[in-house]
Chains A and B, each alone.
Chain A
């Protein structure tokens, strides 16, 4: 990886994003240009400046500690791509091994 450069293949792995071979040169070029632009922040003197994470200065927001009803199981599972026995979300194999998915 070039110094301060962006390696699209590597970053795509971090982001768990499959890219088609033909997408990569375009993304590499676009992102190099964008990274070149945002690098101009290096010229700003930020010595002693606190970072701002949020525009609203709220801290320690808690909800009331009380149980209340929420969504039903049917509602929560309605969008799942695969369901087993009307109550389990079907997922692909997690650990490598024998047998089917």
Chain B
């Protein structure tokens, strides 16, 4: 690999410069990504599948466009990884589930179509917890993925493959999806930037549904600007998604480039997030340093209350599993998927689902079915929807006294494989990320420190009100700049 240029881990600004100036071609860039995958992914195992021939063909087509000065954008020819729950035409779409292993997507998700329209090249299927259910990538039916910073630890989840591939510098950027933290938590564990957009701001058309009122697609990237470039491309109204918000903006990356300080920004620290028992000393210390840096950069720091925080995990695991039990009812082995024959139609459903779903998916389907079942609906599902209102109001109240919130992303750094064998303990580790999905706000995880001793990355989360991505991304960029 002597002619490798080590381009695979560079931020999009550098890649765009190099491609535009002719310093390297898209084919060279893609070859570097393939070489990095060959060299490193035997250990990390972030990819489920890479269609080399197709990727190289798409890169060659991009180079031809550039030769004719017909490039689709300055980013034409840059590859991006795709979580295995987002549809790319002609590629597998298995959600890392045995049940969907044979499925190939007949169409592109809206986010994929929009990235292709700018010349971005889909590069491989990234591993995940089955149906995006999990916080460690251990629930993949294909194989586990390791943390690129320590192969004995998990990359986080559910977008663990996406974060590990970007953190391991196998690919410049990737798409993930976030239902309760599935972009931000693995990004924090793998030392990269992960953006969870406002609910409704990015089309869910072509995203296999887990919990439809919470799911959002977003970028995982080496820096804030790269995330903003992808967000520029994928945000905006889509008639194919009835929950898609109106409007489309395309100046997030340019706003990020001019971010210098946090002057005039009021940042709230939610008391409830900093008094959590599970918050490790190293993450707590990193948060203190992050707050000090924000102050140094000109921010005003205030304390705020989000009084219903302690109910967020319970609300989430009722609503998300209820929605999942309904969404996953379609996987019956009739129209697609790995069908198991039974003695009649109904028995075939039981056998297909029993054999096709892994343990965590079964647990969540059962919990979701239970909270929706006769006699329990009011006590669990309806009550959780009402507490969701209270959680949303907490954020609305906080936004009256501050522009952004700053919180930890995770209570600890990346844990070891099999360390969290009790499902409830795994759920509780999502405490800092899930309230935001319930409220529909946007949030971003940005690297802020490394843990002494282990050298594992620690992330800080900024949270902004719905539709305030510009404020969120520029603050995150100023923070990133202040750290460097």
Contacts and interface: CB of A to CB of B under 8 A. Distances in A.
16 contacts: A14-B369, A16-B353, A17-B353, A17-B362, A19-B354, A27-B359, A35-B367, A44-B390, A56-B200, A56-B245, A56-B440, A61-B242, A71-B107, A75-B106, A79-B102, A93-B344
Given A27-B366, A52-B389, A58-B242, 6 more contacts: A17-B362, A17-B366, A41-B380, A55-B439, A76-B106, A89-B334
B199 A56 contact: yes
B339 A96 contact: no
Interface in B407-446: 422-424, 427, 437-440
B369 A34 contact: no
A94 interface: yes
Interface residues of A, number: 54
B363 interface: yes
B272 to A, nearest CB: 15
Interface stretch (B73-81, B251-259, B312-320): B312-320
Interface in B264-317: 308, 311, 313-315, 317
A41 B311 contact: yes
Contacts of A20: 354
A38 B363 contact: no
A42 to B, nearest CB: 7
Nearest to A58: B243
A38 to B, nearest CB: 4
A71 B106 contact: yes
Question: Chain B contact residues: over half helix, strand or loop, or mixed?
Answer: helix
Contacts of A79: 102-104, 106, 335-337
A51 B385 contact: yes
A26 B336 CA distance: 30
A55 B199 contact: yes
B350 A41 contact: no
Contacts of B311: 40-41, 44
A23 interface: yes
Give chain B's interface residue range (CB within 8 Å of chain A): 35 or more
Interface string B230-261: 00000000010011010000000000000000
A27 to B, nearest CB: 6
Contacts of A26: 359
Contact of B389 (A11, A42, A49, A89): A49
Contact of A92 (B308, B325, B341): B341
Interface in B151-175: none
Contacts of B14: none
A64 B346 CA distance: 37
A35 B371 CA distance: 9
| A-B complex: 6 closest residue pairs judged by Cβ atoms | A55-B440, A18-B354, A51-B385, A79-B336, A56-B200, A81-B339
B142 interface: no
Nearest to B242: A61
Nearest to A72: B106
Interface in B314-351: 314-315, 317-318, 325, 329, 332-339, 341-342, 344-346, 348-351
B245 A16 contact: no
B367 A53 contact: no
Interface in B346-405: 346, 348-351, 353-355, 357, 359, 362-363, 365-367, 369-371, 373, 379-380, 382-390, 392
B387 A41 contact: yes
B213 A92 contact: no
B386 A49 contact: yes
B113 interface: no
B315 A41 contact: yes
B389 A50 contact: yes
Nearest to A101: B341
Contacts of A6: 366, 370
Contact of A37 (B337, B385, B424): B424
Contacts of B373: 11, 14
A46 to B, nearest CB: 4
B424 A34 contact: yes
Interface string A2-27: 00101010011011111110010011
A89 B335 contact: yes
B106 A53 contact: no
B466 interface: yes
Contacts of B325: 15
Nearest to A56: B200
B407 to A, nearest CB: 19
B340 to A, nearest CB: 9
A75 B311 CA distance: 45
B427 A46 contact: no
Contacts of A94: 344-345
A92 B347 CA distance: 10
Contact of B388 (A40, A51, A56, A63): A51
B199 A12 contact: no
